[in-house]
Amino acid sequence: MRKIYIFDTTLRDGEQSPGVNLNMQEKVEIALQLEKLGIDRIEAGFPAASPGDLAGVRAVAEAVRNSSVIGLARSREKDIDAVHEALKNAQDPAIHVFLATSPIHREHKLRMSKEQVLETAEAAIRYAKKYFSKIEFSPEDAGRTELDFLCEVTEMAIRAGATVVNIPDTVGYMTPSEFGNIFKTLREKVPGIEKIQLSAHCHDDLGMATANALAAILNGADQVEGTINGIGERAGNTSLEEVAMALETRQEFYQAKTTLRLSEIARTSRLVSKLTGMVVPGNKAIVGANAFAHESGIHQDGMLKEKTTYEIMSPETIGLKESKLVLGKHSGRHAFREKLIDLGYELNEEQLNSAFAKFKDLADKKKQVLDEDIRTLVEEKMIGTPEIFALESLRLVYGDNPQPGAVVRIKTAEGAWSRKRRTATGPWMRFIKRSTK
């Protein structure tokens, strides 16, 4: 099995998600969790971008001991100096230098010829060599770069001293077969390619980031770059948890594996979501709330008989406790009966039939039937729990003058129904009143 190195850029490309801004403590907290997950390489930020970014990269470099820590730099001496400054105390520092190579970027953004691009990138890699033994070079927008020129750039980067050449599909334009072909061609045509690692960096604009990264692996990539939960610029980056679980689940097919501690995936995903404020959609592969939840009666029946009928991975692998059978209008009797047993009810066949009919009525009106709904339905309607109280009326008074309060009228069944009336005001309401004086 070939090892695939995992390069996490949650703290750099991920932090470029619109609206995300992590402070230094948050960056360190995420980096330490990435280290626990077993990430090989952590791109901690872009030190030349701002003093705050430099401080964040420095703090991560000082905290992390077991993963390599990387800083991003444009092909400029001042950027490379900033990365050097930020990574002085790193246990295993590395630099990531980039320069765009596609015709669109050369013409409109850089206003450089091919020769100028080659010279500028080479000078930057050689300058970085003064400080770093591990240098990754990225030809930005490689996906839209002429393949011959990309081979030339890669050859130059190897000669200048890069140890990793990363191929970014910067704008998420590639299809898996096109992206795979880039790796195949580089492996076949570039002299010295065996001396370095090839890496894939994909964006998800057309929803193909994970598929493209996997196609790169099949065609000779040694490293995949991405983020937790797939966050990042625009539609985001490759989701690292998706790549890790695809390699785990389809090991025979890919003949490659990561050394991630997969049971840390769910925890890492939750932490990144909490600190970035980017909510993970319920249907997100691997880490969405519904990734291991089943609603249809047919699926629930299958799951109860044999989990592999409808699950290709187990939730325990990524650190979750168990799959969920969600009760809703598509659920069947089998799942309903199991839920009743779970909740501690033993109903005879007739009671079960009647409870199931009531449950279906309720499920038609409510999206999801919760445990409390089932308890109420069974206890009130089926077991015939005697009615002890009934709410007759409720009056609420809001405001600070008169004091807020409530009047509740409850009917109690003491032989015949009798009525009781009490009024009270809550202590927290008094507190609010005092504290606003």
Report d(CA 80, CA 76) in Å as an integer: 6
Site map 11..50 versus ligand KIV, x via CB under 6 A: --x-------------------------------------
Among 98, 137, 179, 183, binds ligand KIV (CB under 6 A): 98
Residue 168 is a binding residue for ligand KIV (CB under 6 A) = yes
Q: Which long-range contacts (CB under 8 A, 24 or more apart) does 402-406 make?
A: 403/429, 403/430, 403/433, 404/429, 405/429
Identify the H or E element spanning 182.
Answer: helix 176-189
Report d(CA 291, CA 346) in Å as an integer: 31
Residue 329 is a binding residue for ligand KIV (CB under 6 A) = no
Taking the complex as a whole, the smallest distance from the CB of residue 42 to ligand KIV amounts, in Å, to 15
Residue 13 is a binding residue for Zn ion (CB under 5 A) = yes
Taking the complex as a whole, the smallest distance from the CB of residue 202 to Zn ion amounts, in Å, to 8
Residue 241 is a binding residue for ligand KIV (CB under 6 A) = no
Taking the complex as a whole, the smallest distance from the CB of residue 234 to Zn ion amounts, in Å, to 9
Taking the complex as a whole, the smallest distance from the CB of residue 95 to Zn ion amounts, in Å, to 16
Count of chain residues binding Zn ion (CB under 5 A): 1
Taking the complex as a whole, the smallest distance from the CB of residue 61 to ligand KIV amounts, in Å, to 19
Count of chain residues binding ligand KIV (CB under 6 A): 8
> Residue 11 or residue 374: which is nearer to ligand KIV going by CB?
11
Report d(CA 232, CA 239) in Å as an integer: 10
Chain residue whose CB lies nearest Zn ion: 13
Residue 7 is a binding residue for ligand KIV (CB under 6 A) = no
Q: Which does 140 bind (CB under 5 to 8 A by kind): Zn ion, ligand KIV, none?
A: ligand KIV
Taking the complex as a whole, the smallest distance from the CB of residue 143 to ligand KIV amounts, in Å, to 9
Q: Which does 105 bind (CB under 5 to 8 A by kind): Zn ion, ligand KIV, none?
A: none
> Residue 209 or residue 280: which is nearer to ligand KIV going by CB?
209
> Residue 13 or residue 222: which is nearer to Zn ion going by CB?
13
Taking the complex as a whole, the smallest distance from the CB of residue 43 to ligand KIV amounts, in Å, to 9
Q: 241 vs 123, 221, 266, 317, 320, CA distance in Å? A: 36, 17, 9, 12, 14
3-state secondary structure of 385: coil
Residue 101 is a binding residue for ligand KIV (CB under 6 A) = no
Q: Binding to ligand KIV (CB under 6 A): which residues in 177-236?
A: 201, 203
Q: What is the DSSP letter of 108?
A: I
> Residue 215 or residue 374: which is nearer to Zn ion going by CB?
215
Residue-wise DSSP of 206-228: TS-HHHHHHHHHHTT--EEEEBG
Rg (CA), the chain: 29
> Cβ(24)–Cβ(44) under 8 Å?
no
Query: Chain centroid to CA 151: how far?
Result: 33
> Residue 154 or residue 238: which is nearer to Zn ion going by CB?
238
3-state secondary structure of 379: helix
Report d(CA 336, CA 323) in Å as an integer: 16
Q: Which of 77, 57, 73 is nearest to 11 (CA)?
A: 57
Q: Give first-to-last CA distance, the chain, whole Å.
A: 70
Q: Binding to ligand KIV (CB under 6 A): which residues in 121-140?
A: 138, 140
Report d(CA 43, CA 199) in Å as an integer: 14
Residues that bind Zn ion (CB under 5 A): 13
**Binding residues vs ligand KIV (CB under 6 A):** 13, 98, 138, 140, 168, 170, 201, 203
